[in-house]
Amino acid sequence: MSEVTSVHVERENLYGLAAEFKTTPGIYHAAEKTYAAGFKWFDCQVPFAVHGLDRAMGVKMTILPILVFFGGMAGLTTACFLQIFTNSMEFDIWALLPVVGYQFDVSGKPLLGAAAFVPVAFEMTILFSALTAVFGTMFLNKLPMFYHPTLKHPALSRATDDRFFLIIEARDPKFSRDEVEAFLNSLNPETVIALEK
Protein backbone atom coordinates (compact mmCIF):
# COMPACT_ATOMS: atom_id res chain seq x y z
CA MET A 1 0.00 0.00 0.00
CA SER A 2 2.64 2.49 0.93
CA GLU A 3 6.33 2.81 0.32
CA VAL A 4 9.07 2.90 2.89
CA THR A 5 9.34 6.60 3.43
CA SER A 6 12.58 7.02 5.28
CA VAL A 7 15.89 7.80 3.65
CA HIS A 8 17.84 4.77 2.60
CA VAL A 9 19.17 2.92 5.62
CA GLU A 10 22.13 0.61 5.18
CA ARG A 11 21.53 -2.99 6.05
CA GLU A 12 23.99 -3.11 8.96
CA ASN A 13 22.57 0.15 10.27
CA LEU A 14 18.97 -1.00 10.21
CA TYR A 15 17.31 -1.16 13.64
CA GLY A 16 13.99 -2.31 12.30
CA LEU A 17 10.87 -1.39 10.41
CA ALA A 18 7.98 0.54 11.88
CA ALA A 19 4.41 0.55 10.67
CA GLU A 20 2.27 3.51 11.60
CA PHE A 21 -1.40 3.21 12.52
CA LYS A 22 -4.03 5.80 13.21
CA THR A 23 -6.47 3.78 15.25
CA THR A 24 -6.42 1.43 18.21
CA PRO A 25 -8.18 -1.42 16.37
CA GLY A 26 -5.53 -0.99 13.66
CA ILE A 27 -2.60 -1.50 16.02
CA TYR A 28 -4.44 -4.17 17.99
CA HIS A 29 -5.06 -6.42 15.02
CA ALA A 30 -1.60 -5.72 13.61
CA ALA A 31 -0.05 -6.80 16.91
CA GLU A 32 -2.15 -9.96 16.96
CA LYS A 33 -1.06 -10.88 13.46
CA THR A 34 2.60 -10.09 14.15
CA TYR A 35 2.55 -12.32 17.20
CA ALA A 36 0.79 -15.06 15.26
CA ALA A 37 3.40 -14.76 12.49
CA GLY A 38 6.00 -15.80 15.04
CA PHE A 39 7.99 -12.61 15.47
CA LYS A 40 9.73 -12.28 18.84
CA TRP A 41 11.56 -8.95 18.68
CA PHE A 42 8.72 -6.60 18.04
CA ASP A 43 7.10 -3.85 20.04
CA CYS A 44 4.27 -1.36 19.87
CA GLN A 45 4.80 2.27 20.73
CA VAL A 46 1.56 3.88 21.72
CA PRO A 47 0.51 7.14 23.40
CA PHE A 48 -1.45 5.37 26.13
CA ALA A 49 -1.90 1.84 27.39
CA VAL A 50 -4.23 0.40 24.77
CA HIS A 51 -6.51 -2.02 26.57
CA GLY A 52 -5.56 -5.63 25.89
CA LEU A 53 -2.75 -4.79 23.48
CA ASP A 54 -0.16 -6.40 25.76
CA ARG A 55 -2.06 -9.69 25.61
CA ALA A 56 -2.46 -9.40 21.85
CA MET A 57 1.32 -9.04 21.62
CA GLY A 58 1.81 -12.11 23.77
CA VAL A 59 3.48 -10.17 26.59
CA LYS A 60 3.87 -12.38 29.62
CA MET A 61 2.64 -11.20 33.00
CA THR A 62 5.35 -9.16 34.67
CA ILE A 63 7.08 -10.42 37.81
CA LEU A 64 6.64 -7.00 39.40
CA PRO A 65 3.95 -8.06 41.92
CA ILE A 66 6.31 -10.71 43.29
CA LEU A 67 9.09 -8.16 43.68
CA VAL A 68 6.70 -5.81 45.43
CA PHE A 69 5.63 -8.56 47.81
CA PHE A 70 9.22 -9.17 48.84
CA GLY A 71 9.82 -5.43 49.06
CA GLY A 72 6.91 -5.18 51.46
CA MET A 73 8.15 -8.09 53.53
CA ALA A 74 11.58 -6.46 53.71
CA GLY A 75 9.93 -3.27 54.98
CA LEU A 76 7.94 -5.14 57.59
CA THR A 77 11.02 -7.01 58.82
CA THR A 78 13.11 -3.84 58.93
CA ALA A 79 10.44 -2.01 60.90
CA CYS A 80 10.02 -4.83 63.43
CA PHE A 81 13.75 -5.22 64.04
CA LEU A 82 14.30 -1.47 64.14
CA GLN A 83 11.67 -0.99 66.81
CA ILE A 84 12.53 -4.04 68.89
CA PHE A 85 16.26 -3.38 68.86
CA THR A 86 16.21 0.36 69.39
CA ASN A 87 13.59 0.47 72.12
CA SER A 88 13.86 -2.67 74.12
CA MET A 89 16.76 -5.04 73.60
CA GLU A 90 20.05 -5.41 75.38
CA PHE A 91 22.25 -8.22 74.04
CA ASP A 92 25.21 -9.05 71.82
CA ILE A 93 24.77 -10.14 68.22
CA TRP A 94 26.90 -13.33 68.04
CA ALA A 95 28.89 -11.96 70.96
CA LEU A 96 30.39 -9.37 68.67
CA LEU A 97 28.16 -6.39 68.33
CA PRO A 98 26.61 -5.11 71.53
CA VAL A 99 23.10 -3.84 70.96
CA VAL A 100 21.69 -1.59 73.62
CA GLY A 101 18.27 -0.15 73.10
CA TYR A 102 17.11 3.15 74.48
CA GLN A 103 14.63 1.88 77.01
CA PHE A 104 11.93 4.39 77.73
CA ASP A 105 10.13 3.55 80.93
CA VAL A 106 6.74 5.15 80.53
CA SER A 107 4.38 4.39 83.44
CA GLY A 108 5.88 0.91 83.60
CA LYS A 109 4.40 -0.07 80.27
CA PRO A 110 6.02 -3.03 78.52
CA LEU A 111 9.06 -2.15 76.42
CA LEU A 112 8.01 -4.65 73.79
CA GLY A 113 4.60 -3.14 73.16
CA ALA A 114 3.54 -5.06 70.09
CA ALA A 115 0.40 -3.00 69.53
CA ALA A 116 2.37 0.23 69.67
CA PHE A 117 4.72 -1.06 67.01
CA VAL A 118 1.95 -1.69 64.48
CA PRO A 119 1.67 1.78 62.89
CA VAL A 120 5.37 2.11 62.09
CA ALA A 121 5.53 -1.49 60.85
CA PHE A 122 2.57 -0.82 58.59
CA GLU A 123 3.97 2.41 57.19
CA MET A 124 7.37 0.86 56.50
CA THR A 125 5.72 -2.07 54.70
CA ILE A 126 3.89 0.34 52.43
CA LEU A 127 6.97 2.49 51.92
CA PHE A 128 9.22 -0.38 50.89
CA SER A 129 6.55 -1.88 48.62
CA ALA A 130 5.93 1.42 46.88
CA LEU A 131 9.63 2.03 46.36
CA THR A 132 9.96 -1.48 44.94
CA ALA A 133 6.99 -0.94 42.64
CA VAL A 134 8.36 2.26 41.15
CA PHE A 135 12.05 1.41 40.96
CA GLY A 136 11.20 -2.18 40.00
CA THR A 137 9.24 -0.98 36.95
CA MET A 138 12.05 1.35 35.99
CA PHE A 139 14.57 -1.45 36.34
CA LEU A 140 12.49 -3.96 34.38
CA ASN A 141 11.76 -1.37 31.70
CA LYS A 142 15.46 -0.47 31.52
CA LEU A 143 14.65 3.15 32.16
CA PRO A 144 16.12 5.73 32.17
CA MET A 145 17.37 5.10 28.65
CA PHE A 146 18.10 8.34 26.90
CA TYR A 147 19.14 6.94 23.56
CA HIS A 148 16.93 4.68 21.57
CA PRO A 149 16.64 4.28 17.80
CA THR A 150 12.90 4.89 17.97
CA LEU A 151 13.40 8.18 19.79
CA LYS A 152 15.52 9.43 16.92
CA HIS A 153 13.07 9.29 14.06
CA PRO A 154 10.88 12.42 13.87
CA ALA A 155 7.78 10.52 12.74
CA LEU A 156 7.85 8.32 15.82
CA SER A 157 7.61 11.31 18.11
CA ARG A 158 3.88 11.09 17.47
CA ALA A 159 3.89 7.82 19.40
CA THR A 160 3.45 9.97 22.51
CA ASP A 161 0.70 11.99 20.86
CA ASP A 162 -1.82 10.39 18.54
CA ARG A 163 -0.19 7.64 16.46
CA PHE A 164 0.38 3.95 17.07
CA PHE A 165 3.50 2.22 15.82
CA LEU A 166 4.37 -1.40 15.42
CA ILE A 167 8.10 -2.02 15.20
CA ILE A 168 9.75 -5.23 14.10
CA GLU A 169 13.42 -5.26 14.97
CA ALA A 170 16.14 -6.40 12.57
CA ARG A 171 17.58 -8.75 15.20
CA ASP A 172 14.50 -10.95 15.01
CA PRO A 173 15.56 -14.35 13.63
CA LYS A 174 12.70 -14.22 11.12
CA PHE A 175 13.66 -10.75 9.90
CA SER A 176 14.34 -10.23 6.26
CA ARG A 177 13.82 -6.73 5.06
CA ASP A 178 11.67 -7.39 2.02
CA GLU A 179 9.47 -9.97 3.68
CA VAL A 180 8.89 -7.88 6.78
CA GLU A 181 8.15 -4.86 4.65
CA ALA A 182 5.59 -6.82 2.68
CA PHE A 183 4.17 -8.24 5.89
CA LEU A 184 3.83 -4.81 7.49
CA ASN A 185 2.20 -3.43 4.36
CA SER A 186 -0.32 -6.25 4.50
CA LEU A 187 -1.42 -4.96 7.91
CA ASN A 188 -2.86 -1.87 6.27
CA PRO A 189 -0.70 0.81 7.92
CA GLU A 190 -0.46 4.51 7.07
CA THR A 191 3.24 4.28 6.32
CA VAL A 192 6.16 1.96 6.86
CA ILE A 193 9.33 3.56 8.17
CA ALA A 194 12.87 2.19 8.23
CA LEU A 195 14.64 2.98 11.49
CA GLU A 196 18.34 3.63 11.82
CA LYS A 197 20.26 2.21 14.75
Residues 41-70 binding other proteins (CB under 8 A) are 43-54, 56-57, 59, 62, 64-65, 68
Q: Are 193 and 153 in contact (CB under 8 A)?
A: yes
The reply on whether position 77 binds other proteins by CB under 8 A is: no
Q: Name the nearest CA neighbour of 48 among 146, 164, 128, 147.
A: 164
User: Which among 8-16, 21-29, 173-181 is the span making contact with other proteins, rule CB under 8 A?
Assistant: 21-29
Among 4, 37, 76, 131, binds other proteins (CB under 8 A): 131
User: Which among 5-13, 130-138, 171-179 is the span making contact with other proteins, rule CB under 8 A?
Assistant: 130-138
**Min CB(186)–other proteins separation in Å:** 14
CA–CA separation, 53 and 137 (whole Å): 18
Question: 13 or 23: whose CB is closer to other proteins?
Answer: 23
- Interactions with other proteins, residue window 86-125 (CB under 8 A): 86-87, 100-102, 104, 106, 109, 113, 116-117, 119-120, 122-124
- Interactions with other proteins, residue window 150-179 (CB under 8 A): 150-151, 156-162
